[in-house]
Amino acid sequence: MKSRTLILIWLISLVLLSAIFIFKDQIKTELIPALSELTDKMNTDESTVGQNLPESIQENSSSAFDENFENQPLNYTLPTPGTPPVSYWRPPLYEAPWALTPFDHFYFTRPIAADEVNWPLADYRYGYFFPGTDIVHTGIDIGAPRGTPVYASASGKVVWAGYGLYYGNDDPDDPYGKAVTIAHDFSYNGDRLLTVYAHMDRVDVTVGQEVEAGTQLGIVGLTGFTTGPHLHFEVRLASNSFFRTRNPELWLTPPQGWGVLVGQLRKSDYNFINYQEVYVRNKDTNQTWMVRTYGPSSVNKDDFYQENLVLSDLPAGDYLLYFDYLDINYKHEVSIYPGAVSYFTFRENIGFKDKVPTLETPDAWNDMILTDDFLNNNSIKP
């Protein structure tokens, strides 16, 4: 009896060990999906792009996050990169300032040159929250190798240069690292515009210096809370404050022929739907983007659009937008136009609407009454 039990235990152990050996790849994938996803991406990049992402992106950021960023209002850990770009080629940008309607304000050129990747990292856009925390991202991140020149997005005066943008007093532990703020020569609705450039290894300007669009401000680096070299870029309105940011994707000129999707997702009680994953698929190419709605705090919506979702750099064309919210699958067709904003609103249990608020009544959508006709045509429920 005793020896049979021993043999049984031995057999079970053998089966378990074999199973672990045979399925180790799947186990690895399930235990550390982010890492294996990243490995896949690195491999994909080599074949499709011919150039690897910066090495430091490979670093797993979770430990640094746990140690340093718990209960911090800011987070600059570089997340697992999103869908890698299919190609590094992009159309040239519209010349700043660019605005097809009175509501648009693409006033800034990109702070990284056009022959480099100069668009936002897809997985950590403005308003994103680090999962399970209340840490918010108040800018966009542009992945770039260390040493890449950082340029002023428009003319203005340097009002901050060096450490301490968040904590003050040249604090070398400042989450922004070595940073520059420019107060621009122009304003929006009477409020001064500012832009912030953070995590630089070197700052090349001094406070009080006048700069032009394209003046080099420093180089991309690793200072502050970051695990990989990238430029953190912010747009601020009225004052040089962490609490006065706007979504930079509404302020940087689009590539020519490309447009920007802006949306607002609300529950039936009109509260905003936070952290909602929304997919946007180009009907011609099937290329698909994922964008999340903003988290609930520290980010500011555009004065006019009152959005909680922005997805810039979309080639003009027809798209299918879809997402699951509380077990219901919603779909909506959107068209992206060259150099323009395409706007939609969604309300739970009601559906979609494409019309932007009118200039005369900027918050007219608040009283939006949707007809049955509209609802039948725009809300798809299984």
Nearer to Zn ion by Cβ, of 248 and 315: the residue is 248
Q: Scanning the structure block, which residue is given the tokens 């190419």?
A: 285
Least CB distance from residue 338 to Zn ion, whole Å?
A: 28
- Of the candidate spans 99-107, 136-144, 154-162, 174-182, the one that interacts with Zn ion by CB under 5 A turns out to be 136-144
- Listing DSSP states for 97-155 in one string gives SB-SSTT--B-B--SS-TTS--S--TTS-TT-B-TTS--B--SEEEE--TT-EEE-SSS
Least CB distance from residue 232 to Zn ion, whole Å?
A: 3
Nearer to Zn ion by Cβ, of 198 and 265: the residue is 198
- Of the candidate spans 229-237, 244-252, 264-272, 304-312, the one that interacts with Zn ion by CB under 5 A turns out to be 229-237
Q: Are strands 140-143 and 210-211 parallel, antiparallel or unpaired?
A: unpaired
Nearer to Zn ion by Cβ, of 232 and 292: the residue is 232
78 close to 244: Cβ distance less than 8 angstroms: no
Least CB distance from residue 226 to Zn ion, whole Å?
A: 8
Residues 330-359, mask of contacts with Zn ion (x by CB under 5 A): ------------------------------
Tell me the CB-side half-sphere exposure of residue 217, using CA atoms within 13 A. Answer: 39
Nearer to Zn ion by Cβ, of 180 and 336: the residue is 180
Rounded Cα gap, residues 39 and 35, in angstroms: 6
Least CB distance from residue 271 to Zn ion, whole Å?
A: 27
Least CB distance from residue 231 to Zn ion, whole Å?
A: 8
> Is 141 among the residues that bind Zn ion (CB under 5 A)?
yes
Rounded Cα gap, residues 336 and 261, in angstroms: 7
Least CB distance from residue 120 to Zn ion, whole Å?
A: 9
Least CB distance from residue 269 to Zn ion, whole Å?
A: 32
- Of the candidate spans 131-139, 275-283, 296-304, 374-382, the one that interacts with Zn ion by CB under 5 A turns out to be 131-139
Q: If you ran DSSP here, which 8-state letter would residue 293 be given?
A: -
Sheet strands side by side (includes 341-347) = 309-315, 258-266, 341-347, 351-353
Nearer to Zn ion by Cβ, of 26 and 297: the residue is 297
- Of the candidate spans 43-51, 153-161, 225-233, 244-252, the one that interacts with Zn ion by CB under 5 A turns out to be 225-233
| Helices 2-22 & 24-31 angle (0-180, nearest 10) | 70
Count of residues that interact with Zn ion, criterion CB under 5 A: 3
Nearer to Zn ion by Cβ, of 160 and 343: the residue is 160
Number of neighbours of residue 277 by Cβ within 10 angstroms: 11
- Of the candidate spans 101-109, 228-236, 299-307, 373-381, the one that interacts with Zn ion by CB under 5 A turns out to be 228-236
Rounded Cα gap, residues 74 and 196, in angstroms: 14
Least CB distance from residue 199 to Zn ion, whole Å?
A: 8
> What is the chain's Cα-based Rg?
23
- Of the candidate spans 31-39, 134-142, 250-258, 280-288, the one that interacts with Zn ion by CB under 5 A turns out to be 134-142
Least CB distance from residue 139 to Zn ion, whole Å?
A: 5
| Residue choice 41, 90, 125, 232 for contact with Zn ion (CB under 5 A) | 232
Distance of CA 236 to the CA centre of its chain: 16
Residues 85-124, mask of contacts with Zn ion (x by CB under 5 A): ----------------------------------------
Rounded Cα gap, residues 325 and 366, in angstroms: 21
- Nearest of 247, 221, 218, 215 to residue 234 by alpha carbon: 247
- Of the candidate spans 33-41, 114-122, 230-238, 351-359, the one that interacts with Zn ion by CB under 5 A turns out to be 230-238
DSSP three-state, residue 36: helix
- Nearest of 141, 126, 181 to residue 157 by alpha carbon: 181
Nearer to Zn ion by Cβ, of 184 and 232: the residue is 232
Name the residue whose CB lies closest to Zn ion.
Answer: 232
Nearer to Zn ion by Cβ, of 126 and 304: the residue is 126
341 close to 262: Cβ distance less than 8 angstroms: yes
Q: If you ran DSSP here, which 8-state letter would residue 271 be given?
A: P
Which residues of the shown chain bind Zn ion in the complex (CB under 5 A)? Answer: 139, 141, 232
